[in-house]
Structure 1
Amino acid sequence: MIVGLSNPKENYHKTRHNVGSWFVYSLVEKHSSILQKEKKFFGFTTYMNIKSNIIRVLVPNIFMNINGCAIYKMASFYSINLNQILIVHDDLDLEPGIAKLKYSYGHSGHNGLRNIIKVFNKTESFYRFRIGIGRPKDKNQISSFVLSEPSAREINLIKNSILYAINETSILLDSIF
Structure 2
Amino acid sequence: MDWLIAGLGNPGSDYTKTRHNAGFCFVQELALRQHASWRLEKAWKTELARIEVDGNDVLLLQPQDFMNRSGAPVQAAAAFYKIPPARILVVHDDLDLPVGVARFKWSGGHGGHNGLRDLDRALGTRDYWRLRIGIGHPGHRDRVVNYVLARPGAMEEREIHAAIDRSLGVLDDFLAGRQEAAMKTLHSE
TM-score interval, smaller chain = over 0.9
Q: How far did residue 173 of structure 1 move? A: 1.2
Q: How far did residue 164 of structure 1 move? A: 0.7
Q: How far did residue 175 of structure 1 move? A: 2.7
Secondary structure in structure 2 of the residue aligned to 1:87:
strand
Answer yes or no: is 1:97 the counterpart of 2:110: no
C-alpha distance after superposition, 1:100-157 (max 9, x if no partner) = 011123211111001000111224x211100000000221010111011100110000
Structure 2 regions of 5+ residues with no counterpart?
A: 179-189
Q: Name which of structure 1's ranges 110-119 and 49-58 shifts more when overlaid on structure 2.
A: 49-58
In structure 1, what is the Cα distance between the partners aligned to 2:55 and 2:155?
Answer: 38
Q: How far did residue 41 of structure 1 move? A: 2.3
Q: Name which of structure 1's ranges 84-93 and 163-172 shifts more when overlaid on structure 2.
A: 163-172
Answer yes or no: is 1:142 the counterpart of 2:121: no
Give TM-score scaled by structure 2 length. Answer: 0.88
Q: How far did residue 165 of structure 1 move? A: 0.9
Q: How far did residue 29 of structure 1 move? A: 1.0
* Match for residue 157 of structure 1 among 156, 159, 164: 159
* Match for residue 23 of structure 1 among 3, 22, 26: 26
Answer yes or no: is 1:32 the counterpart of 2:35: yes
Q: Which runs of 4+ in 1 moved over 3 A?
A: none
Name the residue aligned to 1:130.
132
In structure 1, what is the Cα distance between the partners aligned to 2:173 and 2:33?
Answer: 15
Match runs of 1:1-177 below 5 Å: 1-123=4-126, 125-175=127-177
Give TM-score scaled by structure 1 length. Answer: 0.94
CA RMSD of aligned residues (A): 1.3
Alignment coverage as a number of residue pairs: 175
In structure 2, what is the Cα distance between the partners aligned to 1:59 and 1:39?
Answer: 12
Secondary structure in structure 2 of the residue aligned to 1:136:
coil
